[in-house]
Structure 1
Amino acid sequence: MLPVFLVTFPFFALIAAGYAAARTRILPLEAIPGLNTFVLYFALPCMLLRFGASTPIAQLLDGSVALIWGICALAVVAGVVLFTRNARIGWNDAAFGALVAAFPNTGFMGVPLLVALLGAQAAGPIIITIAFDLVVTSSLCIALSRLDGAGSAGRQGATQAARKALRGILVNPMPWSILLGVLLSAMRWQLPGPVERTIAMLADAASPVALFTIGAVLARSALVAREHGASAMVAAAMGTGAGPAPKAPLADVLPVVLVKLVLHPLAVWALGRGAIALGLPLAPSALAVIVLVAALPSASNVSMLAERFGADNGRIARIILWTTVAAFFTFPVAVGALR
């Protein structure tokens, strides 16, 4: 277990450094969107392109990995929506709770961490999970989030949300970088030397900046929630507001954390082992990779999506923060169990 901790510690240390920098305002909160832009539009696409281009095409088109991952992701979404909707949580909050339970922090954290642990051969299954979550899981949850309207109005809202999600996919550089990497791998093309070196430099910057940015985003979410609460208390005291929004109870947060870090990886492992027993051509090494992807903490960008669509971002941010902190302990346990 100690060797695993020695590998994972620097990754979580960089997240902690970003959190501390933003929390103490050494890193201005206004700078965080710039960091996000650099990672999302430059560094991370170059990392995915480089891994995709250097991965055998058979691994990038592994239908068994896509099937197991897709079934489990959809099951997590359905289960969380079904069991968390209540008087406090409508379709909007339930859908983003489901997204934060099913969507791991694969791009910002999983790619560098799992490649460091398992080697470059882990890139193929990881890329498949990223593509599925970007195209299917996130689009489905965004569409479900619009069902709070009654009747045809709710359905129309879901349709509009699905269109917005599709537009978001089309302008997101990550799916395009994955597609280009698959094309380069299939055609066995080599990029010109100067272009390849430029991509390599940006790709090498992806891991530290992405991890630092995760911590900064988590700190910003905590600070913004605290400031909104303080403003609401002042407004209530002056008689100009209804008081602070109630903090999400533990019962609305802890079950989703447990689903993300425990039930999701267990479901992937159980379904994968059952599929192998039934003769599905799923390599045990590929199954180990996607189980560890499922054991990652929640994706930090779900908080921004929740804010954009008017969901309870305080609840979503708490789930992301708790899964990130808890994963420092649970992720090495998952690695040790698989080994």
Structure 2
Amino acid sequence: MFEVAAIITPIFLLIGVGFFSMRIRILNREQMQGVSRFVLYIALPALLIRAITQNPLEEVFNINYLLAYGLGSLSVFGLALGYTVMLKKQPLTIGSISSLGMSVSNSAFSGYPVAVMIIGPPAANFLALNMIIENLLIVPLALILAEAGQQAGRGVMKSLQKTLKQLVKNPILIGLFIGVLIAVTDTHLPAPVTQAVDMLAKAAGPAALFAIGGALYGLQIRGVVGEVSQIVTGKLIIHPLGVFICMWLIAGNDALLIAGGLLFAGAPMASVYPLLGQRYGMGNVAAGALMAGTLMFFITISIIVGLITFFDMLP
């Protein structure tokens, strides 16, 4: 138990530093958004470039992990959508956004900083694969369905075109593309460039945790406890369980893949979730889910790390 606490505590200390930096007004909301943009547009692409270029492509693009994590996330999305739309009789738009919150992790800002402390360098490879699954599969699917529900079936192709345009501009996918291009062409970057990329990559984890803490300040749950509870339960319990089952079926006894999948799936919902929720009239629910999910994350990730340690899955 003390070993688990030793791993988890520094993570939440960094989140706390970000929170209290906002609380005592060292930084304001706009400045904290600048930190988030640094992580998203600079540090994380550098991290992905480093991960892809430092390891053989066959090690980075582990097909078993890609299939298992993708199938697990897609299954949870489908189950959540069916439950919300068919059983609870909610509109397709609400069902899509709720399902998005349950099946897409905050891989960059929460999953990676935790995973790299527990399983080390392979966490960067898993992050690259998660970015592919989340940005090319789950998020576009949820947005297209949400748009279709909002427009009662009209303008779906227009929504698809808009989503594809946004994907082309996504800094995470640009970083992935650059890394793959360098690896495939066997390009050797100059030593100063490699060192600069490495320095930026190392900043991704701490800066992401700091930004998460700042984002939590001021969030409130206003009359949406039921919806928030459903999304948080789906994200922190059902999503890791679904990914674990698929990992066990596809990856077999590969303890590292299972540990990586659990750590990333166990992260709270994506930090952009409130922005997407607000776009479809679920701003308060999404913001409340992000706050509650991040706070409950301390408990659930401690359990996950404890199980990983108990079953000797650590490298």
Query: Is TM-score (shorter-chain normalized) higher than 0.5?
Result: yes
CA contact (8 A) 1:122 1:286 kept: no
CA contact (8 A) 2:232 2:293 kept: yes
Residues 25 and 88 of structure 1: is their aligned pair in 2 closer, same or farther, counting only changes over 3 Å? Answer: farther
Structure 1 position 220, deviation (Å): 4.5
Give the equivalent residue in structure 2 for 1:318.
288
CA contact (8 A) 2:104 2:270 kept: yes
> d(CA) in 2 for partners of 1:275 and 1:38?
36
Give the equivalent residue in structure 2 for 1:289.
260
What per-residue deviation string (whole Å, max 9, x for no partner) do you get for residues 19-64 of structure 1?
2322444321222332222111111111121122112211222222
What's the TM-score once normalised by structure 2's chain length? 0.89
> d(CA) in 1 for partners of 2:161 and 2:215?
27
CA contact (8 A) 2:65 2:251 kept: no
> d(CA) in 1 for partners of 2:5 and 2:159?
41
Q: 2:244 aligns with which of 261, 269, 288?
A: 269
Where does 1:23-102 land on structure 2 (aligned, <5 Å)?
23-85=23-85, 89-102=90-103
What residue identity is the alignment partner of 1:64?
A: N
> d(CA) in 1 for partners of 2:190 and 2:152?
50
Residues 186 and 291 of structure 1: is their aligned pair in 2 closer, same or farther, counting only changes over 3 Å? Answer: farther
> d(CA) in 1 for partners of 2:247 and 2:199?
36
Between 124-133 and 87-96, the greater mean CA deviation after superposition: 87-96
Q: 2:223 aligns with which of 247, 253, 268?
A: 247
> d(CA) in 1 for partners of 2:192 and 2:91?
52
What residue identity is the alignment partner of 2:56?
A: P
Residues 169 and 261 of structure 1: is their aligned pair in 2 closer, same or farther, counting only changes over 3 Å? Answer: same
CA contact (8 A) 2:251 2:257 kept: no
CA contact (8 A) 2:113 2:206 kept: no
> d(CA) in 1 for partners of 2:205 and 2:172?
15
Residues 287 and 182 of structure 1: is their aligned pair in 2 closer, same or farther, counting only changes over 3 Å? Answer: farther
What residue identity is the alignment partner of 2:175?
A: S
What per-residue deviation string (whole Å, max 9, x for no partner) do you get for residues 130-189 of structure 1?
21101111101111111334xxx5333333222222111111111121222233334443
| Residue 174, structure 1, aligned to residue 175, structure 2 | no
What per-residue deviation string (whole Å, max 9, x for no partner) do you get for residues 55-91 of structure 1?
2211222222111111111111112222224889532
What residue identity is the alignment partner of 1:36?
A: S
CA contact (8 A) 1:129 1:290 kept: no
Where does 1:208-219 land on structure 2 (aligned, <5 Å)?
208-219=206-217
CA contact (8 A) 1:92 1:311 kept: no
Residues 216 and 89 of structure 1: is their aligned pair in 2 closer, same or farther, counting only changes over 3 Å? Answer: farther
Give the equivalent residue in structure 2 for 1:120.
121
> d(CA) in 1 for partners of 2:197 and 2:67?
31
> d(CA) in 2 for partners of 1:213 and 1:12?
12
Give the equivalent residue in structure 2 for 1:14.
14
> d(CA) in 1 for partners of 2:182 and 2:12?
33
> d(CA) in 2 for partners of 1:82 and 1:169?
26
| Residue 327, structure 1, aligned to residue 297, structure 2 | yes
Structure 1 position 118, deviation (Å): 0.6
Secondary structure (helix, strand or coil) at the match of 1:147 reads helix
Between 256-265 and 186-195, the greater mean CA deviation after superposition: 186-195
Q: Structure 2: any 5+ residue segments left out of the alignment? A: 310-315
CA contact (8 A) 1:140 1:162 kept: no
Give the equivalent residue in structure 1 for 2:312.
none
> d(CA) in 2 for partners of 1:303 and 1:126?
22
Residues 300 and 88 of structure 1: is their aligned pair in 2 closer, same or farther, counting only changes over 3 Å? Answer: farther
Residues 60 and 155 of structure 1: is their aligned pair in 2 closer, same or farther, counting only changes over 3 Å? Answer: farther
Give the equivalent residue in structure 1 for 2:313.
none
Give the equivalent residue in structure 2 for 1:238.
none
Give the equivalent residue in structure 1 for 2:191.
193
CA contact (8 A) 2:251 2:258 kept: no
Task: Indicate the structure (1 or 2) with the bigger Cα radius of gyration.
Answer: 1
Where does 1:88-167 land on structure 2 (aligned, <5 Å)?
89-149=90-150, 153-167=151-165
What's the TM-score once normalised by structure 1's chain length? 0.83
Identical pairs, percent:
27
Q: 2:276 aligns with which of 290, 302, 305?
A: 305
CA contact (8 A) 1:55 1:121 kept: no
Structure 1 position 313, deviation (Å): 1.1
CA contact (8 A) 1:55 1:123 kept: no
Structure 1 position 207, deviation (Å): 1.8
